[in-house]
Amino acid sequence: MFKTLLNKFSRLLVVWVLLAATIGFYSPNTLTPLKPYTDWLFGLTMFGIGCLLSFKDFEPIFKKPKLTILGTLAQFTIMPILAYLIVKIFKLSPSLAVGLILAAA
């Protein structure tokens, strides 16, 4: 029963996310009561996305681990450097600078 429910939820995950995003954009006050549950709802969304993955989805990672390692290194080196450059070019405030650099990492 749980698997059937999870399967139905997962198949409609994109619909749920787009529906919530649309409601939140056009009528933010509608979803305000759910604000205390944001972390749980985000976790549920990530869980649903994870349930859609199969072992086949990970085969390319195991077949070409060098590309995965290269991508990981790029994410944690190039992206923060680019964020730092954006901070300097646009002369962002310290709080925005830290947020952007952390988000890039």
Q: pLDDT tens, 2-47? A: 677 777 777 787 888 899 899 989 998 998 898 899 899 889 878 8
pLDDT(76) > 80:
yes
* pTM for the predicted model, two decimal places: 0.50
∠ CA 56-59-61 to the nearest 5 degrees?
135
> Where in the chain are the domains?
2-53, 59-104
Residues 6+ apart with CB under 8 A from 80: 101, 104, 105
- pLDDT value of residue 78: 93
- Tens digits of per-residue pLDDT, 87-101? 999 999 999 999 999
Q: Cα(22)–Cα(37) distance, rounded to whole angstroms? A: 18
Residues 6+ apart with CB under 8 A from 21: none
- pLDDT value of residue 20: 86
Q: For the chain, how big is the Rg over CA atoms in Å?
A: 19
